[in-house]
């Protein structure tokens, strides 16, 4: 690195090569500093600047000023400074990757590219849209703005454009995700049309291309994209009225299986999902927010739960898709005044919001049963089935009684029409018309006729011993009530 004028290391003639004492440590030992002019004295002059070869860490520069410190103390400081440097490097790298922020130079590059199509609006658009804009694939991080097909690779402080696309503006609020090492975009709205496209970016051709899907494909896709494993679910699917009709919510929600690109659809059984029209979608690290005019859904991707509540109660009223940056699990709303000065509202920490409202959380059912999807039809069918079975039972019983009434033996009908409920044996013989018969013939005939009556009308006649004369029997007639 080249030192500036007036620096203690400015002139080589006044400077000695500093070689810190060697240490037995293999991993964190000090490194030697070398001056180019000392290596090649012939090319050196008193007025020539001295170029020092120094590893790009701050700890070695600090060691130059600590060269007079005792060896033991210096070794300890070397280890502390080295570890602090590594820790700061890790923290900085993690913040760059996880916080998903653009550097000023990256922001300037991206805005200049979109300026030719958006004009002044290019400076009014928020760029840091969290997972809706930043997409890590392997060790690389890519950037894409919803509604625009520009693709940038973020490297260090640079934003390198990869695509050859022109401005299309037809996939605002698309769902951005990675699959099989590719950047992919699902659905979106623009040019007064909501599409149902699945697009993938071809890094070799530097262009987007369509991916074929099959199954119960949605007619249009503009909703909350939730990914769990190899499934992508589309909830809160909004069917745009294209300024001709009112926007309305889809009666179904959908699932895309990334293994075979097959769609499945489920009847939306939750009333709030069918009634709350969504205007904006925010994709955070662990949450997805679908915001309507008065109410919002917050989906927790870790617990697979959701909260549905009033925007004022949740503190989300001021956040829109045009003024909100997303960092980790925080929303940062800002606007520009007439002087193009940024006015920031307080951040909304969705982690904290979830903890405050966890009692409102409901399980997110993504594969409902037929009964859950069609409860009214099921209950209607169930009630109808019960009525049908009851009717069949009544009809069968009524038909049987009617058939019995019309096909009964005359003797049975005579018994039913008899006014008395108990008969002596002589009275029974008179009804059976066997009183004229003698002895065993009468007894045998009586037995046959009673068996026939019992077969046609079970329980009609009951025989009991006469309490006043145990040698005699009484016959009781039991008529069934209609």
With 0-12 / 13-18 / 19 or more C-beta atoms within 10 angstroms meaning exposed / middle / buried, residue 91 is: exposed
Q: Does the CA dihedral 150-153-158-160 come out positive or negative?
A: negative
Phi and psi dihedrals of 246, rounded to 5?
-70, 140
CA 188-307-299 angle, 5° bins? 40
pLDDT tens per residue across span 61-103: 544 555 566 767 767 777 787 777 655 555 444 444 444 789 9
3-state secondary structure of 367: coil
The secondary structure of 265-293 as a DSSP string is: EEE---HHHHH--EEEEEE-SSEEEEEES
Hey, what domains does the chain have and what are their CATH numbers?
1-95 (no CATH), 98-375 (2.120.10), 408-477 (no CATH)
Instruction: Count CB neighbours of 152 within 10 A.
Output: 22
Instruction: Count CB neighbours of 231 within 10 A.
Output: 15
With 0-12 / 13-18 / 19 or more C-beta atoms within 10 angstroms meaning exposed / middle / buried, residue 131 is: buried
pLDDT tens per residue across span 293-342: 999 999 999 999 999 999 999 989 888 887 899 999 999 887 666 666 66
> Are 460 and 452 in contact, with CB atoms under 8 Å apart?
no
> Are 458 and 412 in contact, with CB atoms under 8 Å apart?
no
Can you read off the two tokens belonging to residue 444? Answer: 């045998």
Phi and psi dihedrals of 295, rounded to 5?
-130, 160
pLDDT of residue 341: 63
Query: Can you list the alpha helix ranges (DSSP code H) found in 339-460?
Result: 350-356, 370-373, 375-407, 410-417, 425-432, 439-456
pLDDT of residue 407: 62
Can you read off the two tokens belonging to residue 19? Answer: 């070689």
Pick from 334, 336, 315: nearest CA to 326: 334
> Are 196 and 189 in contact, with CB atoms under 8 Å apart?
no
Can you read off the two tokens belonging to residue 424? Answer: 């002596």
Instruction: Enter the pTM of the model.
Output: 0.63
Phi and psi dihedrals of 377, rounded to 5?
-65, -40
Q: Which residues of the chain have pLDDT under 50?
A: 1-59, 62-63, 91-99, 403, 482
> Are 59 and 18 in contact, with CB atoms under 8 Å apart?
no
> Are 433 and 426 in contact, with CB atoms under 8 Å apart?
no
């Amino acid at each position: 690195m080249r030192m500036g004028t007036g620096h203690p290391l400015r002139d080589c003639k006044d400077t000695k090569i500093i070689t810190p004492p060697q240490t037995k440590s293999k991993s964190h030992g000090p490194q030697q500093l070398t001056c180019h002019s000392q290596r090649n004295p012939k090319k050196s002059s008193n007025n020539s600047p001295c170029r020092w070869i120094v590893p790009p860490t701050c700890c070695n520069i600090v060691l130059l000023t600590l060269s007079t410190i005792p060896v033991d103390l210096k070794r300890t400081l070397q280890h502390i400074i080295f570890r602090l440097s590594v820790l700061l490097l890790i923290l900085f790298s993690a913040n760059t990757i996880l916080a998903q922020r653009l550097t000023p130079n990256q922001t300037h590059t991206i805005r200049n590219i979109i300026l030719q199509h958006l004009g002044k609006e290019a400076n009014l658009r928020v760029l840091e849209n969290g997972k809706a804009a930043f997409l890590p694939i392997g060790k690389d991080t890519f950037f894409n703005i919803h509604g625009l097909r520009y693709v940038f690779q973020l490297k260090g402080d640079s934003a390198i454009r990869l695509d050859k696309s022109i401005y299309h503006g037809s996939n605002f609020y698309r769902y951005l995700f990675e699959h099989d090492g590719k950047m992919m975009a699902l659905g979106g709205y623009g040019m007064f049309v909501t599409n149902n496209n699945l697009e993938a970016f071809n890094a070799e051709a530097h262009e987007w291309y369509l991916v074929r899907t099959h199954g119960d494909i949605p007619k249009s896709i503009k909703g909350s994209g939730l990914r769990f494993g190899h499934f992508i679910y589309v909830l809160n699917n909004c069917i745009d009225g294209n300024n001709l009709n009112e926007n309305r919510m889809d009666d179904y929600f959908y699932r895309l299986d990334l293994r075979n690109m097959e769609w499945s659809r489920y009847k939306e059984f939750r009333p709030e999902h069918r009634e709350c029209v969504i205007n904006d979608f925010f994709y955070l690290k662990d949450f997805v927010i679908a915001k309507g005019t008065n109410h919002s859904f917050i989906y927790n991707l870790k617990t697979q739960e959701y909260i549905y509540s009033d925007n004022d109660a949740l503190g989300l009223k001021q956040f829109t898709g045009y003024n909100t940056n997303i960092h980790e699990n925080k929303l940062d709303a800002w606007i520009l005044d007439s002087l193009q000065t940024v006015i920031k509202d307080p951040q909304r920490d969705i982690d904290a919001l979830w903890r405050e409202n966890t009692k409102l959380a409901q399980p997110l059912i993504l594969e409902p049963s037929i009964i859950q999807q069609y409860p009214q039809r099921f209950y209607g069918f169930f009630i109808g089935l019960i009525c049908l079975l009851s009717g069949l039972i009544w009809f069968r019983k009524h038909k049987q009684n009617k058939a019995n009434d019309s096909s009964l033996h005359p003797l049975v009908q005579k018994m039913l029409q008899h006014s008395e409920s108990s008969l002596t044996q002589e009275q029974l013989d008179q009804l059976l018309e066997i009183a004229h018969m003698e002895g065993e013939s009468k007894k045998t005939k009586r037995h046959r006729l009673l068996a026939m009556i019992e077969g046609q009308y079970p329980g009609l006649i009951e025989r009991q011993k006469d309490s006043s004369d145990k040698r005699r029997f009484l016959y009781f007639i039991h008529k069934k009530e209609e």
